[in-house]
Structure 1
Amino acid sequence: MSFDALIFDLDGTLADTMPAHYIAWRATMAKYGISFDEDRFYSLGGCPSQKIVELLAEEQGMVLDSHTVAIEKEEAFLLEIAEVAPIEPVVELVYEYRGRIPMAVATGAMRYVADLILAHVGLADCFDACVTSEDTERHKPHPDVFLEAARQLKVEPEHCRVYEDADLGVEAGRRAGMEVVDVRNFFTPRRITIS
């Protein structure tokens, strides 16, 4: 092995959550008269919900309570969680290396949502650390979430392998000096058709 620890993004990497997240985003932002197309949604993968709300509101010249709207969006997502399935090729790696080397989750999700997703896909007890949007000031594409995961695992960043599904996360992993595996090379998320 060329690595001593594995760090996994959550949404779109361990769990096929992106369609459910997009449904929740569309419904929530429509209440405020903000459109949010699917390609743009995927381009912001890894960005915390509150930051996305701030960005979209600023672009529309609106003032929103970004924290409240982000919570509203997460609650809408949780209504869709039954549709979320594990991404099997990645989850198989978790089971293969569980107990053999340190492993962490490093996500832009809020902690309570991350915990619920991990429990839903049967991975709640598989990781030695879980770093969420509340644990760092800067978020992907900054490397902070991955560096904090490495710190908690007590493994040097250059000895960590990251699994990611979004451009912002891939960039963050590279900036952290870690080997990055882009799961889009072997997994394609479902897209949503909304009329």
Structure 2
Amino acid sequence: MADTAIFDIDGTLVDTNYQHALAWYRALRRFDLTVPLWRIHRAIGMGGDQIVTHLAGEEVERRIGDALRDASGREFAPFVDEVAPFAGAHDLLVDVRRRGFRTVLASSGKEQDIEHMLDLLDARDLADAWTTSADVESTKPAPDLLEVATAKVDGTAAAMVGDATWDCIAAGRLGIPVLAVRTGGFSVDELKEAGAAMVFSSLDELRDRLDETPLAQAGPPGRSAAG
């Protein structure tokens, strides 16, 4: 039984996937590179260290990878004030914490972006820990971020809530079950083929069906439930 609940942030708790896709599109166009938006969207969920090679190839990564990552951050910045949590995000964190789970918000974003998302979610008192890009060298689909997330709370077994195929692939490499929500714009078939244990149309549906999932109740040595 899981004692740790890992929550992806972007696209899962906070509605940012399409803004990230557009930011990457604009960043690539700055360097006269055109990648169709649908392809970029299907790559969202990868970390910045992985996505340039995935979208534009190894030569582009070697030549201008860091510049593209910087440009993407600059293009995303104007969207920050428009970003909002998904319905049910805060309440889901409350429900899972009350069931006794150690709760980690997992992201490979920059520290300042994670701080902003924590405030949007009103989650500072609900998360036992969170991750940033500074915590790992390799991001999803590598499993490093999930290993760090579990270790931050001394967890022994985890379950994850995510929205992207890359969440499912990374978690699968560690044997972590993923409860996937369609909030990131990925289809049921895509998520299941990537390894999702269950797929939900929304966070509210996941909340309603928590008793059917690995997040029904924390197993030992989970901490005592919060009030």
Partner residue, 1:172? 170
Cα separation, 1, equivalents of 2:15 and 2:45:
14
Superposition misfits of 4+ residues, deviation over 6 angstroms: none
CA deviation vs aligned residue, 1:114-156 (integer Å, no higher than 9, x gap): 2223323433443122122331222212211111111111111
**Cα distance in structure 2, aligned partners of 1:105 and 1:138:** 17
What is the aligned partner in structure 1 of residue 201 from structure 2?
186
Q: CA deviation at 1:178?
A: 1.5
Identity value in percent: 26
Equivalent residue number for residue 3 of structure 1 = 2
The amino acid that maps onto 1:14 is L
Report which stretch shifted further, 144-153 or 127-136.
127-136
User: Counterparts of 1:8 and 1:139 in 2: how far apart (Å)?
Assistant: 15
Q: Which residue of 2 aligns with 1:105?
A: 105
Alignment map for 1:1-195 (pairs within 5 Å): 2-58=1-57, 64-98=63-97, 100-156=100-156, 159-184=157-182, 185-187=200-202
Q: TM-score, normalised by structure 2?
A: 0.71
Distance 1:36 1:121 in 2: 32
Offset of residue 72 of structure 1: 2.3
- More displaced 10-residue stretch of structure 1: 74-83 or 112-121: 112-121
Question: Per the alignment, do residues 143 and 63 of structure 1 end up closer, same or farther by CA in structure 2, a change over 3 Å counting?
Answer: closer
Residue 186 of structure 1 aligns with an amino acid whose one-letter code is S
SS of the residue 1:182 aligns to:
strand
- Where 1:127 maps in the other structure, the secondary structure is coil
Q: CA deviation at 1:44?
A: 1.5
What TM-score, normalized by structure 1, do the two folds share?
0.82
**Paired amino acid for 1:171:** I
In the comparison of the two structures, how many residue pairs are matched? Answer: 185
Gaps of 5+ in 1: 189-195
Note if contact 2:15-2:84 (Cα within 8 Å) is conserved in structure 1: yes
Cα distance in structure 1, aligned partners of 2:147 and 2:130: 12
Gap change, CA 1:124 and 1:67, over 3 Å in 2: farther
Specify whether residues 141 and 51 from structure 1 end up closer, same or farther in structure 2 by C-alpha distance, changes over 3 A only. Answer: closer
Residues 62, 44 of structure 1: alpha-carbon distance in 2 compared, 3 angstrom cutoff: closer
Residues 57-85 of structure 1 show CA distances to partners (whole Å, capped at 9, x for unaligned) of 43675854322331221122121112211
Partner Cα distance (2:164, 2:174) in 1 = 15
1:89 positional shift: 3.1
1:89-108 Cα shifts (integer Å, max 9, x gaps): 34321122346431111223
